[in-house]
Amino acid sequence: MEGKSLLFKLLGDVEVVPVCIYPRKTPQLAIEAIIKLLGNFDAINLEDIKAPECFDIEEGLNALKVLPIFHDDQHGTAIVTLAGLINAAKVVEKDLRACKIVINGAGAAGITIAKLLLSYGVKDIIICDSAGSIYRGRTNNMNEAKRKIAEVTNKDNLNGLLPDVIKDTDVFIGVSQEKALRGHWVATMAKKSIVFALANPVPEILPDDAKSSGAYVYGSGRSDF
């Protein structure tokens, strides 16, 4: 948190105080703890809160309409991903809104990336988690956030694992774990495919493996890449 605060100051000249809250048992308790701090600040940047609790906490604080509330794992990741995709689509000469996109990872980042892409105009998005594609009517490994996003993604309601649903897609976005994407799966994607392997510190697939398997544009969360 201290490092993130330094980035705010150096890059945006924003004064930030890192406040670490001991893990709470329920989102409501976390909300109550943060409410006690609101009078000291002009905005709150939430960090490192897992899904689905992060959605409840952010929505609960925003409902107060007191201060701007930003959850970095959700909105920071989603914004920079969309920005990268807009540029990548220009490189591969495709209309991003018409691209078929698969997102691997249905936590805070994956679900919010999907929401932002939908608001941008992308029509064809499938989200996968450890149990496979998220679709309407799925019952295993689901929560309220996944049920809501299932209503507006996976338009054909496909049921399958990542290697099944990645076929013929234009874009892979990984916000999951290392080695979640195999080279021979990348080879089944559409021509001039885009691979954003954002897991840290080890991405879903390394750049050389993605490139040799046919990826045209590669992005990761690793500064050394």
- Structure confidence by residue, pLDDT tens digits, 48-73: 888 788 888 888 998 988 889 888 88
Per-domain residue ranges for the chain?
2-71, 75-220
pLDDT at 23 over 70: no
Q: What is the DSSP letter of 25?
A: S
Cα separation, 160 vs 162, whole angstroms: 7
pLDDT at 168 over 80: yes
Q: What is the DSSP letter of 219?
A: E
Residue 125: the pLDDT is 98
Q: Identify the CATH homologous superfamily for domain 75-220.
A: NAD(P)-binding Rossmann-like Domain (3.40.50.720)
Residue 51: the pLDDT is 79
Higher-pLDDT residue of 177 and 53 is 177
2-71 and 75-220 have identical folds: yes
Structure tokens at 125: 């998005």
Q: Which whole-number Å values give the CA distances from 180 to 63, 120, 160, 176, 185, in the listed order?
A: 36, 27, 15, 7, 10
Dihedrals phi, psi of 181, to nearest 5 degrees: -120, 130
- Structure confidence by residue, pLDDT tens digits, 108-166: 899 999 999 999 999 999 999 999 999 999 999 999 999 999 999 999 999 999 999 99
Q: Name the pTM for this structure.
A: 0.87
In the structure, what pLDDT confidence band is assigned to residue 26 with cuts at 50, 70 and 90?
confident
Which 3 state secondary structure label does DSSP give 40?
helix
Q: H helices within the chain, ranges in order?
A: 2-12, 27-35, 53-62, 77-91, 108-120, 144-150, 162-165, 183-186, 207-212
Which residues, 6+ apart, have CB-to-CB distance to 33 below 8 Å? 21, 24
Task: State the CATH architecture for 2-71.
Answer: 3-Layer(aba) Sandwich (3.40)
- Average pLDDT along the chain: 93
pLDDT at 24 over 70: no
